[in-house]
Amino acid sequence: MGAKLYFEYEKGIQRNKFDLVIAVMEMLFAVVLFYSNWKYTFIIIPYIVGLSAYHFIRFALSAEKKAFVNNKKTCLNILKNYGRCSYYIYLVHFFFAWIFVEIIQKGIKIARGGVNLNSNLLYFILIIPIFTLSYFSAIMYEKICNKIIDRISKLKNI
């Protein structure tokens, strides 16, 4: 979808007034599936969320040409920065999406005297900290990897 968006952006995205509506409907469908008891839910949800992101970004890109070109703090610039280090985010996000949330869950359980907080509610509450921590950890990890790659390149040139 990223490649499709790239080529659509290069050609000039035709504004589709329903892209935002489609994105919201797809996200709502993913939320409904998340709370369903269907056993194949977790296979389908990533695709639906990906389609929703595609339609949202497509809408934002088509709107960018009209309204957001000179604004440095648009949602698109945040997405561009996120996309720039997306591979490193992919490498570190599991820690924050799974292990970090479990640590928080256990801390809350201890603080509440053995009563668990609903995991779905906890994920919802922590989504912004998870994204933020994943992003900054990915930037640090990228810098470390680049230093290692530079040192290896220098050793090869000796």
Q: pLDDT of 55-104, one tens digit each?
A: 887 787 776 655 544 555 566 666 667 777 777 887 887 787 778 888 88
Q: pLDDT of 34-65, one tens digit each?
A: 788 888 887 888 888 888 888 887 787 776 65
The whole-model pTM stands at 0.55
Cα three-residue angle 10-12-15, rounded to 5 degrees: 140
Report DSSP state, residue 74. -
Give just the sign of the alpha carbon dihedral 139, 96, 89, 27: negative
Distance CA 63, CA 117 (A): 40
| Euclidean distance between the first and the last CA atom of the chain, given in angstroms as a whole number | 42
